[in-house]
């Protein structure tokens, strides 16, 4: 068996419009165009599936050090968000904005941010 020489996870660099974010943990993304959901009938059989559009996103937990105020994050629109992963993959989200509530946690100095956008792309390592 051959030993791995590069990481498959662990760290990432996240930027919006070239500005570095203080990335902390829990990076997730979804660039699917559509999400399928099964439909089961009261007759006990699967009838098929529905296809619903999916908004592409990159989401993570960031250190809330005062580098960006809540108003600064709320003002992000039409941004390009990139994440470079430890394994060499690059995620790019275009036309991005901060979606949902921005609720920093003062005790742990962290904030969860979800960037949603028009189009996402995942480039292999």
pLDDT at 14: 93
How much is the pLDDT for 3?
Answer: 64
The stretches in the chain having pLDDT less than 70 are 1-4
Q: Is residue 6 part of a domain?
A: no
Query: In whole angstroms, what separates CA 120 from the centre of its chain?
Result: 10
Residue 115 lies in a domain: yes
108 occurs within a structural domain: yes
Q: Does residue 2 belong to any structural domain of this protein?
A: no
Structure confidence at residue 103 (pLDDT): 95
What is the predicted pLDDT for the residue at 125? Answer: 81
74 φ/ψ angles, rounded to the nearest 5 degrees: -65, -30
- Give the H or E element holding residue 20: strand 19-21
pTM: 0.86
26 lies in some domain: yes
Where residue 10 falls (left for φ over 0; alpha for ψ -120 to 50; beta otherwise) is left
Q: What are phi and psi of 120, to 5 degrees?
A: -125, 150
At residue 5, the pLDDT reads 72
Q: Which CATH number covers residue 24?
A: 2.40.30
Q: 48 with 39: CB under 8 angstroms?
A: yes
| Parent domain of 31 | 12-123
Residue 79 resides in a domain: yes
């Amino acid at each position: 068996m051959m030993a791995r020489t590069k990481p498959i996870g662990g760290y990432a660099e996240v930027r919006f419009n070239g500005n570095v974010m203080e990335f902390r943990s829990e990076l997730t993304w979804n660039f699917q165009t559509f999400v399928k959901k099964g439909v089961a009938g009261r007759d006990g059989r699967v009838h098929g599936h529905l296809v619903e559009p999916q908004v592409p996103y990159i989401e993570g937990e960031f250190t809330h050090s005062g580098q960006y105020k809540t108003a600064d994050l709320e003002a992000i629109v039409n941004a390009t968000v990139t994440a470079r992963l430890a394994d060499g993959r690059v995620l790019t989200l275009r036309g991005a904005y901060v979606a949902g509530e921005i609720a920093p946690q003062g005790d742990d100095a962290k904030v969860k941010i979800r960037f949603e956008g028009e189009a996402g792309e995942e480039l292999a390592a």
